[in-house]
Chain A
């Protein structure tokens, strides 16, 4: 089986003034369909770079990134847009909802760029919002919701175009621990339904939600294995199964 996500000896360097920063230093790993992976690392470990590359927002300097067997590094900007639209569902730390649109329109944005008709967009968006428990707030604006509710909207949006990968970047970072837990439970539920989830976080206790941990330090993979492995270095939060 071809892995869904595959990094082959991937490097990403940035030039900052006259120093070269190696944000990703020969990283190789692969993620299969249906996995729930947490990419863990401190600030500056290169996890944001990985997230940008997995999310097709950025391309590697060298090495290869294959998404669903296709080499992303060789794609044009338009193809990157298309693949983001079709294959990826983003969940951001700051929710990143569009403040002027109601929830229905917010959730329908990926479908808009996928070229779906208005009726279909609305129907799908409504279904997704109902799924995250916000079916009664279809026409509210994001600023009328609590943080946890906004993050649920962004999950609904990530799911709307049925992506291959759900990419969550510090999804609980702006939430209190209780609502954060709710969001993580939702991610686990998505995983159980067969979705591939990639969680990016600096917080070990949050990373513990995942099946598998990829730990990054200074742009290198220092651990790649199941979360249950003691060497993973993540504390199991007892409440979560």
Chain B
């Protein structure tokens, strides 16, 4: 008996008891849909994180000087020296000073707005465009001017779009707005990329009462060689401080890959747990196949009397189990896509993340492969039972 004949026989039998077949498949359907949705969630989170990091800049190495375990210090000029020494790897650098404190427009307090002291190069590093007015200049750094550039969200929300020339109060000091950045996000929101104020780092350092600047952003020339560049940067810093504890270099790409790795571990564990339901589904198939072998004992006897070999009976039942599992797998994939879309709708509309649940092709291939394998594996025992039935007893079975 050929494979296609066994296949059509299996399909006939499955179609012959639709309800039972569907319930048998349910375990597989749920298992595969669960694996797909979980892997899809993982992919979605990874994409979301990658996008987030991209807005920060994957070509950036953040340097934090902690000054721990050393009496040596480094000035902004020293750091520019470091940049020049590593010109092979880095093309730009800007000190960054995060401001903690109040930002006020008139009497209104801007609780979520980030104010950061930066150098004139920062806009180039981040590739921020200036929509109106000017960017910060080198002269502003030198003069510790009280000028600032604001994000489009601030300009639109508090100045009606015409902010240049107006003033803003940072930690009580009055700053003149000299420029407004072009809109960065598709949908500017509170606390996001467009809700910012940039002032000269020298002014910021003085205002925060810091003697020296402790954070720097370096931009890597070749994004594929971030780790080499990072090592070179660390070597230069070691030469200054003579201690590895005195500084910290974080590359966004590395951070991203660490977080992605962690996420993958979590997702893999979840997928394996979901995969257990596939095994449960497989046991369900085995159970029904055993029932089916008992019910069809007489049929097996007749077929054997008419010349069916053990192998033909075996193949017939294994194929039936495998086909059941595969059809379940196909329904599972459909359900998986359905639940993924549903998940995307829920996440974007209710939780407010711009995240898409994207099942990967790999997980689908794996799911179908797994369901076929489960069918064959769990179909084997009942099929063997059927094949080994004694034809005389089977013929007499009522």
Contact = CB atoms under 8 A, between A and B. Distances in A.
A81 interface: yes
B302 A96 contact: yes
A210 B246 CA distance: 110
A131 to B, nearest CB: 18
A31 interface: no
B298 interface: yes
Contact of B306 (A77, A78, A100, A110): A110
B175 to A, nearest CB: 86
Interface string B308-330: 11111000000000000000000
Contacts of A84: 304-307
A98 interface: yes
B392 interface: yes
Interface in A72-97: 77-78, 81-82, 84-86, 90, 92, 96-97
Given A100-B13, A112-B5, A90 B305 contact: yes
Contacts of B298: 96
A189 interface: no
Given A81-B307, A110-B307, A57 B1 contact: no
A113 B312 contact: yes
A55 interface: yes
Given A109-B303, A113-B1, A81 B310 contact: yes
Interface in B1-37: 1, 5, 12-13, 16
Given A84-B305, A113-B1, A77 B310 contact: yes
Chain A residues touching B, range: 20 to 34
Interface in A149-163: 157, 161
A115 interface: yes
Interface residues of B, number: 22
Nearest to B17: A100
Contact of B309 (A57, A82, A109): A82
Give the interface centre of B302, B305, B311 by most chain A CB atoms within 10 Å.
B305
B89 to A, nearest CB: 71
Interface string A111-129: 0111100100000000000
B395 interface: yes
B309 A96 contact: no
Nearest to A158: B306
B60 to A, nearest CB: 69
B95 interface: no
Interface of A: 52, 55, 57-58, 77-78, 81-82, 84-86, 90, 92, 96-98, 100, 109-110, 112-115, 118, 157, 161
Contacts of B309: 77-78, 81-82, 113
A188 to B, nearest CB: 24
Given A90-B305, A112-B1, A113-B308, A52 B16 contact: no
Contacts, number: 61
Contact of B307 (A52, A58, A92, A113): A113
Contact of A57 (B310, B312, B392): B392
B275 interface: no
B16 to A, nearest CB: 6
Interface string B363-398: 000000000000000000000000000011001000
Contacts of A92: 395
A58 B307 CA distance: 14
B299 interface: yes
B392 A85 contact: no
Contacts of A110: 306-307
Nearest to B391: A57
A151 B381 CA distance: 35
Contacts of B303: 98, 109, 113
Contacts of B1: 112-113, 115
A96 B396 CA distance: 10
Contacts of A86: 307
Nearest to A95: B302
Nearest to B16: A100
Nearest to A167: B305
Contact of A98 (B5, B302, B391, B392): B302
A81 B314 CA distance: 14
B224 to A, nearest CB: 60
A84 B306 CA distance: 6
6 contacts: A84-B304, A84-B305, A100-B13, A109-B302, A113-B1, A115-B1
A-B pairs, 5 with minimum CB distance: A85-B307, A113-B307, A81-B309, A110-B306, A96-B302
Interface string B126-156: 0000000000000000000000000000000
Contacts of B310: 77-78, 81
Contacts of B12: 100
Nearest to A79: B309
Given A52-B392, A113-B1, A82 B307 contact: yes
Contacts of B391: 57
Contacts of A82: 307, 309
Interface string B272-311: 0000000000000000000000000011011111111111
B299 A98 contact: yes
A205 B307 CA distance: 32
Given A58-B392, A115-B1, A157 B305 contact: no
Nearest to B298: A96
Contacts of B305: 55, 57, 84, 90, 96
B397 to A, nearest CB: 11
Given A58-B392, A96-B395, A157 B16 contact: no
A9 to B, nearest CB: 22
Contact of A81 (B13, B16, B302, B308): B308
A69 to B, nearest CB: 20
Nearest to B305: A90
